[in-house]
Amino acid sequence: MNLQFVLNGKPWRVECEAQETLAEVLRNTLNLNGTKVSCEVQVCGACTVLVDGAPVSACTYLAYEARGKNVTTIEGLEKPDGTLDPLQQAFIDEFAFQCGFCTPGMIMSAKALLDENPAPTRAEIIHYMDGNICRCTGYVPIVAAIQRAAQAMGKETKK
Amino acid sequence: MMPLRRFAMHQPKSVAEASQMLAEFGEKGRLYAGGTELLLAMKHDLLRYEHLIDVKTIPGLNKIELKNGTLNIGGAATHRAIEHSPAVKENLPVLAQMENNVANVRVRASGTLGGNLCFAEPHSDPAALLLALGAKAHLQAKSVRRTVTIDKLITGSYETSLGADELLEGIEIPLAGKSQRAAYVKFQLKERPTLGLALVLDVDGDNIKKAKAVVGSVSPMPTESDKANGLLTGSRAQVEKQLLDAAGALAQAADPVDDLEGGADYKRHLIGVFLKRAFIKALA
């Protein structure tokens, strides 16, 4: 089938099959390898991308579902001049990743959270990020990075 | 990556058309509402279908609306939509709160209420709460409609009373007045609940006039017990003394099973702990 959607702000048209997942189309057809695939059963969150602002598991979400929608992946976060998104910068500043495999999913989930709730409490961050699993860094710096990004983005909007 | 076997996707424009497709494809076809359960089973090759029928393309099947003192939720409404719905938050906060804790945020964004109930995975949060709230399911096959209670919809582990060409249009939940107190509490270590306990009380001052306690996830179907419900009515002080007996009756009715989420004995114990928690939360 012919799939049309907006990917990281640009309209795209790709040929895909009904059974192909969004992760397969992103990684195999479009060569966007930032979206990681790990558990493949919607548990770990490594493959999180945003569809119309909502986080989904690209590993199990059919590409078909993205028709006519806005898809944002980790590749779509940095600005055209190369400036990192406040979340990406905060993950670096807080040392919130070690191996980095869960990081794109972590950042995309955190982005969805901050878009919905720009000033979340620590408890709200933990509840929202509950479905994103990290197996090496530990969650403390990840939560700290999200808090730091929320603060940075809050200052940005106030300017 | 774990690829899915090839299938065709169909987009019905009405419930009748979807029913027609079900009849036509027979065992080679299945309804697809969000895929959070179905696609996992298909990835593991536990289920094979050549045709998926996307019920989300049926206009209006995802609506959430108040009508004549009831809350009506279409079968294709996502957990996320229910969780964020102002109508739900205002009129039935216990439902919004339960939905806010289903699986994870990504499953809530694509999984639907109808999919959850009709796939009938035994570890279901919505099934237990909806049974306690006295919800009804509206089913339709071509032009024939029927309405059943949740315990008549879910008949076993992954089993429902749905006919081969029948689908769930929506759920209707009665909105009891201000005398209703409700709570849903659960115990969960992994992706699915070990136990969910829903408690719905009708109170008048310190007196509990009616009670409905449902335990879900511990056995194939959500369960209630008339004996437990009886022990949960009376003065608050009296019911507090009977909580453990009520939990015992509920555990006996539910007959918990061993599974990956916990052993039967442990689940029996948890029923006592969580009935108490639900009671405190409902009356807080």
Cβ-based burial of B44 (10 A; exposed 0-12, middle 13-18, buried ≥19): exposed
Going by C-alpha positions, the residue among B63, B89, B277, B46 that lies closest to residue B172 is: B63
Going by C-alpha positions, the residue among B9, B280, B12 that lies closest to residue B165 is: B12
Q: Per-residue pLDDT averaged across B267-282, rounded?
A: 98
Residue of B nearest to A112 (CA): B105
- Domains detected in chain A: 2-76 (3.10.20.30), 86-158 (1.10.150.120)
pLDDT per residue over B19-68, tens digit each? Answer: 999 999 999 999 999 999 999 999 999 999 999 999 999 999 999 999 99
Query: Which positions ≥6 away from B28 have C-beta within 8 Å?
Result: B49, B50, B51
Lowest model confidence (mean pLDDT) among A10-19, A78-87, A150-159, B107-116? A150-159
Tell me whether B52 touches chain A (CB under 8 Å): yes
Interface mutation target, options B106, B119, B186, B192, chain A, most CBs of A under 10 Å? B106
Contact B106 A41 (CB under 8 A): no
Q: Looking at residue B143, what is its pLDDT?
A: 80
Contact B1 A40 (CB under 8 A): yes
CB < 8 Å to A39, chain B: none
Q: Looking at residue A157, what is its pLDDT?
A: 79
B182/A61 Cα distance (integer angstroms) = 34
| pLDDT above 80 (res A158) | no
Pairs of residues, one from chain A and one from chain B, whose beta carbons lie less than 8 Å apart: 74
Contact A19 B2 (CB under 8 A): no
Q: Looking at residue A156, what is its pLDDT?
A: 81
| Sequence ranges of chain B with CATH classification 3.30.43.10 | 8-57
Q: Do the Cβ atoms of B52 and A18 come closer than 8 Å?
A: yes
Structure tokens at B192: 């699915």
Q: Per-residue pLDDT averaged across A86-106, rounded?
A: 97
Tell me whether B11 touches chain A (CB under 8 Å): no
The three-class DSSP label of residue B109 is helix
- The vertex-A52 CA angle with A122 and A27, nearest 5°, equals 95
pLDDT per residue over B171-186, tens digit each? Answer: 999 998 899 999 999 9
Domain B8-57: state its class: alpha beta
Nearest to B35 among A40, A60, A130 (CB): A60
CB B41: neighbour CB atoms within 10 A? 17
Contact A62 B104 (CB under 8 A): no
Tell me whether B97 touches chain A (CB under 8 Å): no
| pLDDT above 80 (res A8) | yes
Q: Looking at residue A56, what is its pLDDT?
A: 98
Cβ-based burial of B273 (10 A; exposed 0-12, middle 13-18, buried ≥19): middle
Q: Looking at residue B177, what is its pLDDT?
A: 85
Contact A18 B5 (CB under 8 A): no
Domain B64-174: state its class: alpha beta
Q: Looking at residue A159, what is its pLDDT?
A: 66
Distance from CA of A2 to the nearest CA of B (A): 13
Nearest to A42 among B8, B36, B52 (CB): B36
Q: Looking at residue B176, what is its pLDDT?
A: 87
Q: Per-residue pLDDT averaged across A81-99, rounded?
A: 97
Contact A42 B103 (CB under 8 A): yes
Q: Do the Cβ atoms of B154 and B214 come closer than 8 Å?
A: no
Interface mutation target, options A35, A43, A47, A116, chain B, most CBs of B under 10 Å? A43
Q: Looking at residue B168, what is its pLDDT?
A: 98
Nearest to B109 among A21, A56, A64 (CB): A56
| Sequence ranges of chain B with CATH classification 3.30.390.50 | 180-283
For A105-139, the DSSP string reads HHHHHHHHHHHH-SS--HHHHHHHGGG---SSS-H
Q: Per-residue pLDDT averaged across B119-133, rounded?
A: 98
Nearest to B4 among A19, A41, A43 (CB): A19
CB < 8 Å to A132, chain B: 104
CB B247: neighbour CB atoms within 10 A? 27
CB contacts under 8 A, B 128-187 vs A, are none
CB < 8 Å to A55, chain B: 105-106, 109
Cβ-based burial of B90 (10 A; exposed 0-12, middle 13-18, buried ≥19): exposed
Structure tokens at A51: 């569809």
Q: Does domain B180-283 have CATH number 3.30.390.50?
A: yes
Mean of per-residue pLDDT scores for chain A = 96
pLDDT per residue over B211-265, tens digit each? Answer: 999 999 999 999 999 999 999 999 999 999 999 999 999 999 999 999 999 999 9
CB < 8 Å to B36, chain A: 42, 60
Query: Which positions ≥6 away from B272 have C-beta within 8 Å?
Result: B243, B244, B247, B248, B251
pLDDT per residue over A109-143, tens digit each? Answer: 999 999 999 999 999 999 999 999 999 989 999 99
Query: Percent of chain B having pLDDT more than 70?
Result: 100
Tell me whether A123 touches chain B (CB under 8 Å): no
Interface mutation target, options A3, A39, A41, chain B, most CBs of B under 10 Å? A41
Consecutive H or E run containing B175: none
